[in-house]
Structure 1
Amino acid sequence: MVTVPLTSALNIDYRPLQELLSAGAWLEADRLSLQLLCRAAGEGAARRGWLYFSEVSRIPVEDLRTIDRLWRAASGDRFGYSVQRQLWLGVNRNWERLWPLIGWKQGYHWTRYPDEFIWDLSAPKGHLPLSNQLRGVRVLEELLTHKAWEEASG
């Protein structure tokens, strides 16, 4: 596995996420990723356990990049927010074209959480992390347009 620097502007320990991803515990890593995003977004989100779209911009660049790099490293660049972003940009930011591409929707039917999602490397590229984004497109859009992607993230 590729070594990922575990940098955090908030002194968040990303080793547990790294361990889950290294072990291929994708569902558990997805749930922990949401907790870590909430923690990085602030006390309100951490307490609730989910994000308002308006809180995503509070997540420090270093922290979002660290979570993304961990997902990319563990999956051979199949999973991660930056992977989802590239796919989304590739379909001209069209959500209805993105959902089936990443396996979140088939025809008129949304993939049901967690049982219908694919929690291994056979999943479509960009399938994970889900991080409970089915709550609505606004949070995911904020993640995919976060300032972390404005510069080369390596």
Structure 2
Amino acid sequence: MTDPKIQESTSNSDFDSQLKQLIAGSERNQKELVEKLADSGTEGLKVLMEFLSKRRDIPANVVDGKVYQVLYQSDFPEIKEFLQINFPQGIVPLKSDCNIDYTDLQRLLANQEFQEADRLTLQKMCELSGEEAVKRKWLYFTEVEKFPIADLQTIDKLWLIHSEGKFGFSVQREMWLGLRKNWENLWVKIGWKNGNNWTRYPNEFIWNLDAPRGHLPLSNQLRGVRAISSLFSHPAWEK
């Protein structure tokens, strides 16, 4: 029979080793390890809690987002209590210059409910623009230009962190710049268009991480490119 003290020592050694790997590994290795730990039961989840605890005062990155999602979706009371105490609003600061509440958007994205999060993103952006935009449910490019920097950065950061860096306006903008601002090439690259045919909403869009990079969040390009052009030209990306 194995001595309980030896078993505990081995367990502690494994815990420390996995935590060190998670802290020091490359982003790719970190993501792979997060998945392994998520599938390894309570001991693996404890490693993930300790990792997130050590990064509590550091701006979140995509690995933090993946760890947070695993813990957020767990049913263990101990983990729910840990998140409530240490990350009551999530791992992305929900900053707003217009007193907009982004709690529900954070919750949907943490649960990877991307279609609902996409709808709510448009709603929040309309709220930023005022009652008229909320009523019509779409945006003029002149309204986009006036978005507060803090709010646009919050929305983008939530998408970025909770999609492993795959989604977000900043991702789309980076791709657009990489394509020398060619809109038609961008639509194809991010899966909004196939040849001359626009992707049909909602069933032809991909509402999970199997989607092409930059696929979400959506913008209605049937009205032209002025609104998304204003979005990509916004000073939020310069700070």
Aligned to 2:27: none
Q: Cα distance 1:134–1:29, how it changes in 2: closer, same or farther (>3 A)? A: farther
Pairing 1:57-68 to 2, within 5 Å after superposition: 57-68=145-156
Aligned to 1:71: 159
Distance 1:85 1:78 in 2: 12
> What whole-Å deviation, never above 9, does each CA across 1:2-59 have from its counterpart, x for those lacking one?
3111000011110100001111111110000000001112232122211011110121
Q: Aligned AA for 2:95?
A: T
TM-score by length of 2: 0.61
Aligned to 1:15: 103
- Larger Rg computed on CA atoms: 2
1:41 to 110, 129, 136: 129
Q: Cα distance 1:133–1:58, how it changes in 2: closer, same or farther (>3 A)? A: same
Distance 1:133 1:101 in 2: 15
Unmatched 5+ stretches in structure 1:
none
1:4 to 92, 102, 115: 92
Larger RCO (CA under 8 A, 6+ residues apart): 1
Aligned to 2:202: 114
Aligned to 1:92: 180
Deviation at 1:115, TM superposition (A): 0.8
Identity of aligned residues (%): 58
Coordinate RMSD, CA, aligned: 1.2
Structure with the higher helix share, 1 or 2 = 2
Q: Secondary structure at the match of 1:67?
A: helix
Q: Cα distance 1:134–1:70, how it changes in 2: closer, same or farther (>3 A)? A: farther
Unmatched 5+ stretches in structure 2:
1-63, 66-90
1:50 to 122, 138, 149: 138
The 4+ residue runs of structure 1 with deviation greater than 6 A are none
Does the aligned pair in 2 maintain the 1:31–1:131 contact within 8 Å?
A: no
Aligned residues: 151
TM-score by length of 1: 0.93
